[in-house]
Structure 1
Amino acid sequence: MSEPVADVVARGYDRLAQAYAGLEDGVEWPRLRRLRELLARLPQGSRVLDLGCGNGVPATAEIAKRHVAFGVDVSPRQIELARQNVPDATLSVGDVLELRYEPGSFDAIVAFYTFDHIPRERLPEMLDLMRGWLADGGWALFTVEAEEQVDTVAKWLGEPMFFSSYDAETSRRLVAEAGFEIVDAEVEEQLEGGHPVSYLWITARRREEER
């Protein structure tokens, strides 16, 4: 593909901001339930990064209730909406693979429906970055689609969108190899515009460094 992946994804979500938000109307996605379970493990005031935060609702807004919320999205339009929806969060536009934070910057990192939009061969790189940004024992909660997709651009909600993912077993293995202790890994289905989609939900901790 000649056009950079991040450009395809950014343009798609710029145009689809309203349509994407509408996918969750009238249905209950696992996102908020699983996020609340994670946040309950953290001391109040923990620093939490939301990768691919979209318009900030509901995840970044939920984080900001008791914690210090940070959000990044590749779509300028989504970040514009997030600044309106979650004014207390620190938000920025960026490609998640190009971000650079100091080691140990965050107590937890979440990424919902984000990693399917990066080339799957770069997932180990993404996991390595996350591990470096987390404090020892820090938490991660994220999704990957639970099926094989090899770097595909397809029409989604009427716009071109990039998708790429491994099967669930491969994704779990890559997480463990990246230095995380997997606390929970479960495939759960959700409805998107009436269509069922299965995601692998992973809750993990950064293994503490040996002293």
Structure 2
Amino acid sequence: MDQDLAQKLLEKTKSNFNRIASEFSHTRRYLWPELVNLFRGYIKYGESVLDIGCGNGRLLDLYIGMIVDYVGIDNSEKQIEEAIKRYPNRVFLTGDALNLPFSENYFDKVFSIAVLHEIPSSELRKKFLQEAKRVLKDNGLIFLTVWDLRNRKLLSLKYSFLRLIKRSGLDKGDVFIRWGREVERYYHVFGEKEIRKLVKEAGFDIIEMGVAKKEKSKKANIYLIAKKSSLSL
């Protein structure tokens, strides 16, 4: 993907989330119990945690009743406002996931829930993971989820239509999904093979990977837990 287009899509995503922040927060009040169950065995009291693309801060559901040094970061100012409303005693920052304002080897854990699929272009997705790795301590863990949209026929048709009308510059797997009547959101449709390759190339060792299906719903997420090797550069 052309990087000028990628930057425009990043700005569009930020603008979209500022427009729909309140409504979006209402639909994302809790972290999926299926993900909580998968991740809970890895978390510890007192650890330092970065939540990239934190939205309204719902990841904190994972740490209920625990002492944790938590920082949430999101590029949407309105999303951060929603997070502060919910958790006024936690630290939330407006910032860029591609240029994190933290020193190297700072956090024990990095979480990114349903964010990577909103990053346009393979180059920027790689940069996203490299930044996450930079701020992780050696042997620290990253927790990623992306929407599993592979079996949604309508998305395949949508993608084909976009190609037919020559919406230039899109990569294979890029789609746009409407939110309400006015907002059209960019997504990259990942398969497990693609995300596994991307994470390995960024210098992580994969510990666990799979598909988490939401109970009584057709929705699903590909999830991945990986470790920053002390030997990674």
TM-score normalised by the chain length of structure 1:
0.83
Going from structure 1 to structure 2, the CA distance change for 1:38 and 1:87 (only over 3 Å counts) comes to: farther
Give the whole-Å Cα distance in 1 for the aligned partners of 2:42 and 2:52: 15
Partner in structure 2 of residue 126 of structure 1: 128
Q: How does 1:6-25 map to 2 (within 5 A)?
A: 6-24=10-28
Q: Deviations over 1:93-123 (max 9, x none)?
A: 1231132421101000001011111014122
Q: Which has the higher helix share?
A: 2
Give 1:33 deviation, angstroms: 2.7
Q: How does 1:31-180 map to 2 (within 5 A)?
A: 31-39=35-43, 42=44, 44-57=45-58, 59-60=59-60, 62-63=62-63, 65-121=66-122, 122-147=124-149, 150-158=173-181, 159-180=183-204
Give the whole-Å Cα distance in 2 for the aligned partners of 1:25 and 1:68: 21
Give the whole-Å Cα distance in 2 for the aligned partners of 1:126 and 1:10: 16
Give 1:25 deviation, angstroms: 6.9
Q: Deviations over 1:36-78 (max 9, x none)?
A: 2332xx3x22110000111112x13544742100001121111
Give the whole-Å Cα distance in 2 for the aligned partners of 1:139 and 1:3: 28
Q: What is the RMSD of the two structures over their aligned residues, measured on CA atoms? A: 2.7
> Once structures 1 and 2 are overlaid, which stretch shifts more, 147-156 or 122-131?
147-156
> Once structures 1 and 2 are overlaid, which stretch shifts more, 135-144 or 182-191?
182-191
Give 1:2 deviation, angstroms: 8.2
Larger radius of gyration: 2
In the alignment, structure 1 segments of 5+ residues that lack a partner are: none
Q: Which has the higher strand share?
A: 1
Give 1:209 deviation, angstroms: 2.5
Partner in structure 1 of residue 169 of structure 2: none
In the alignment, structure 2 segments of 5+ residues that lack a partner are: 151-171
TM-score normalised by the chain length of structure 2:
0.76
Give the whole-Å Cα distance in 2 for the aligned partners of 1:33 and 1:63: 12
Q: Deviations over 1:3-26 (max 9, x none)?
A: 722321222222222332343579
Secondary structure of 1:163's counterpart equals: strand
